[in-house]
Structure 1
Amino acid sequence: MTSLSILDYSPIDEESTPDQALRETTQLAKLADTLGYKRFWVSEHHHIPSVAGSSPQMLMMHLAANTTKIRIGSGGILLPNYSPYKVAENIRVLQALYPGRIDLGIGSGTGANRIATKALQAGKPRTDHREQTADLIGYLSGTLPPEHPYSNLIVSPNIDAVPDIWLLGAGGTSTEMAAEFGTALTFAHFARPGIGPETAGQYRESFIPSAFCSKPRVMIAVFVVVAETNERAEELAKAFDLWLYFVESLSSPPYYPSAETASQRGTSEREREKMIRNRSRVLIGDALSVKTQLDKLINQYNADEVLIMPHIAGFENRKTAIRLLADAFHLA
């Protein structure tokens, strides 16, 4: 059976606050732990007012301390913003404290606009993502080549453990690197749904076994809007439509709009056209309808795992969504 996991952005709901959003992420992780989800990942975004998740390593530490069985991970740590050596140390600390429960998802973007990216990388030399990824994997697996300038460095704490490593991408370089380095692949169906199955096939064909994976593993990440009925899911989806439009038009308000706000606000023809196109990136409906849609995607990708993104207006609605899907997939 394909396992089910969650990626949470820590959305800031209308009439809520950033600190409340982080507390709700904690509560959602604790609920997912009891429901039988395999992984709970958190994202890295910068200068997006409606999202509180900016520091996955710190949030992972908190979530691991507040859960018992579920794997905790990053979806992902955006490597251009960091030193690979420091990321390796952060992950090792997490592994030492929570053995067998830490996932490392690595992204190639910055999660920010141009100005925020400059601030994140102030004082850093220009870096190559492939080189950074190779260094990070080398630090964590102890496989840096002897000629590497930092080959003699110890990654503290110096423990004998390798994290579950996933490269995040939507085709192109990240997919090629996942195959080359022998890591698992998380494909961002929510970003580029049209090329996903073909990309997953290319990854499998090119995969080289490693200490991390003896065979290729594919997880698909997709937005979901799930409710008790298809009609209620469609109401909530209108809020998702509006949020995604705002974010991608760089006019994001400081909150995730409610279903009521979305229904009361009119939309222009141009906005509606964009929202209709974005619907290919999200699965909408009651739990059985969304399960049917997910099963279809799983078959198309031959996916090993699914990472749902319940980016839904209202914390109670997010809790309801993951309960309904857990029941539909018989997770418990």
Structure 2
Amino acid sequence: MIPLNILDYSPVDEGYDPRVALLQTTELAKRAEDLGYKRFWVSEHHHVLSVAGSNPEMLMMHLATSTNRIRIGSGGIMLPHYSAYKVAESFRILEALHPERIDLGIGRSPSYRMVNKAMNENKGRRPSYEQQVEDLYKFLTDDPSENHRFHKLIATPSINTTPEIWTLGTGGGSAKIAAKNGTSYAFAYFTMPFDTGIEIVANYRREFQPSPFLKKPKVTIAVFAVVAETTEEAEEIAKALDLWLLFVESANPPPYYPSIRTAKKRGVTAAEQHKVTENRKRMIVGTPQHVKATIERLAELYQADEITVIPNVAGIHNRMKGIELLAEAFDLMASKDGDS
């Protein structure tokens, strides 16, 4: 049975506030652990007021402390915003306190330019993303190679385990970086649901070079999933996701995730319908058995080792119910018991 993971955005539901959103993420992580999910990742979004997840490593520390077994990770750290040395030390702290439970997912920044400017103001010339990735790997492995400009520098705490490294992306460039550095690869199908991804993942596998992090290639495919007991209910829930995606891509998005009632009342314009139709390619919507069958087909197409579902729907009760129904469809509890 293919392992399932969760990537949570900490959505701020209409009528609630960001503190509640973060507490709901905590409850979702606890439930995911009980249900047998393998990993629970949190996102990094800046200047998006409808989601509360802006600082993955701080939220990860809270989630790792609130759970016992499930792997906790970032999906992901947007490396161009930061110093690779600082990221390495943050994740070494996490790994030291929660050994062999921490995933470090890294990616380029899709954020607003002003976010990156605010993060790096007055820092002068910044290294390329490729250089930052190499720096991060050096600091996490204590590589003493003298050809590195910081070869004498050690990231502390110095520990004997390493976070599991995942390179996130949608294109050939990120896949090449993952393959070259010997890390796992997470393909963001939820932003790039096209057949070209199959070849991108295949190239990653062909070009993979074993490393201290990983001996053979490992792939997860990440996709929005809207799961409900009936097709009709799933479609109603999906309408709110349709609207949220329209909102976050607009000039003045509201500071909340629209409710199902709001989505139903507002509807979409004829001009918006094409975008909604295109966005539906990024998600799987339906009953547990339909979503399960689609996930299995996706896993086979991409030869994925794991699947990461993003239950980014309105209402914590719908998010909870969705991951419960999917866990039951995949019989995750049986897999969990078998591993224990």
1:101 alignment partner AA: R
1:307 alignment partner AA: T
2:83 alignment partner AA: S
Which stretch of the first structure deviates more once superposed, 315-324 or 156-165? 156-165
CA distance in structure 1 between the aligned counterparts of 2:164 and 2:261, rounded to whole angstroms: 41
1:31 alignment partner AA: R
CA distance in structure 1 between the aligned counterparts of 2:85 and 2:267, rounded to whole angstroms: 49
Q: CA deviation at 1:312?
A: 0.5
What residue number does 1:7 align with? 7
What residue number does 2:81 align with? 81
Give the conservation status (yes or no) of the 8 Å contact 2:74–2:106. Answer: yes
Matches within 5 A, 1:124-139: 124=123, 125-139=125-139
CA distance in structure 2 between the aligned counterparts of 1:178 and 1:291, rounded to whole angstroms: 28
1:325 aligns with 2:314: no
Matches within 5 A, 1:89-168: 89-109=89-109, 111-124=110-123, 125-143=125-143, 145-168=145-168
2:189 alignment partner AA: H
**Structure 2: any 5+ residue segments left out of the alignment?**
334-340
CA distance in structure 2 between the aligned counterparts of 1:83 and 1:106, rounded to whole angstroms: 13
What residue number does 1:45 align with? 45
What residue number does 1:307 align with? 308
Over residues 164-216 of structure 1, what are the superposed CA-to-partner deviations in whole Å (9 max), with x where a residue is unaligned? 10000001211110010010000000011102211111111111111111111
Over residues 119-176 of structure 1, what are the superposed CA-to-partner deviations in whole Å (9 max), with x where a residue is unaligned? 1221223330000000001110122521322111121110111211000000121111
Normalization by structure 1: what TM-score?
0.98
Q: CA deviation at 1:95?
A: 0.7
CA distance in structure 2 between the aligned counterparts of 1:250 and 1:53, rounded to whole angstroms: 20
CA distance in structure 2 between the aligned counterparts of 1:230 and 1:121, rounded to whole angstroms: 46
Normalization by structure 2: what TM-score?
0.96
2:85 alignment partner AA: Y
Which stretch of the first structure deviates more once superposed, 13-22 or 155-164? 155-164
Overall identity of the aligned pairs, in %: 53
Over residues 37-85 of structure 1, what are the superposed CA-to-partner deviations in whole Å (9 max), with x where a residue is unaligned? 0000000000001010000000000000000010000000110011000
Give the conservation status (yes or no) of the 8 Å contact 1:40–1:71. Answer: yes
2:287 alignment partner AA: D
CA distance in structure 2 between the aligned counterparts of 1:266 and 1:72, rounded to whole angstroms: 36
CA distance in structure 1 between the aligned counterparts of 2:310 and 2:279, rounded to whole angstroms: 15
CA distance in structure 1 between the aligned counterparts of 2:28 and 2:9, rounded to whole angstroms: 11
Q: Secondary structure at the match of 1:219?
A: strand
1:265 alignment partner AA: R
1:235 aligns with 2:236: yes
CA distance in structure 2 between the aligned counterparts of 1:266 and 1:315, rounded to whole angstroms: 22
CA distance in structure 1 between the aligned counterparts of 2:143 and 2:302, rounded to whole angstroms: 31
CA distance in structure 1 between the aligned counterparts of 2:89 and 2:317, rounded to whole angstroms: 36
Q: Secondary structure at the match of 1:165?
A: strand
CA distance in structure 2 between the aligned counterparts of 1:149 and 1:258, rounded to whole angstroms: 51
**Structure 1: any 5+ residue segments left out of the alignment?**
none
Total equivalences in the alignment: 331
What residue number does 1:18 align with? 18
1:247 aligns with 2:248: yes
Matches within 5 A, 1:29-68: 29-68=29-68
CA distance in structure 2 between the aligned counterparts of 1:207 and 1:268, rounded to whole angstroms: 46
CA distance in structure 2 between the aligned counterparts of 1:285 and 1:69, rounded to whole angstroms: 30
Q: CA deviation at 1:90?
A: 0.5
CA distance in structure 2 between the aligned counterparts of 1:189 and 1:11, rounded to whole angstroms: 20
What residue number does 2:273 align with? 272
Q: Secondary structure at the match of 2:332?
A: coil
Q: Secondary structure at the match of 1:193?
A: coil
CA distance in structure 1 between the aligned counterparts of 2:47 and 2:269, rounded to whole angstroms: 26
CA distance in structure 2 between the aligned counterparts of 1:184 and 1:99, rounded to whole angstroms: 18
Check 1:91–1:265 CA distance in 2 against 1; reply closer, same or farther (3 A cut): same
CA distance in structure 2 between the aligned counterparts of 1:60 and 1:211, rounded to whole angstroms: 24
Q: Secondary structure at the match of 1:14?
A: coil
Give the conservation status (yes or no) of the 8 Å contact 1:135–1:144. Answer: no
Give the conservation status (yes or no) of the 8 Å contact 2:100–2:162. Answer: no
Q: CA deviation at 1:270?
A: 1.3
Give the conservation status (yes or no) of the 8 Å contact 1:12–1:51. Answer: yes
1:117 alignment partner AA: N
CA distance in structure 1 between the aligned counterparts of 2:215 and 2:193, rounded to whole angstroms: 27
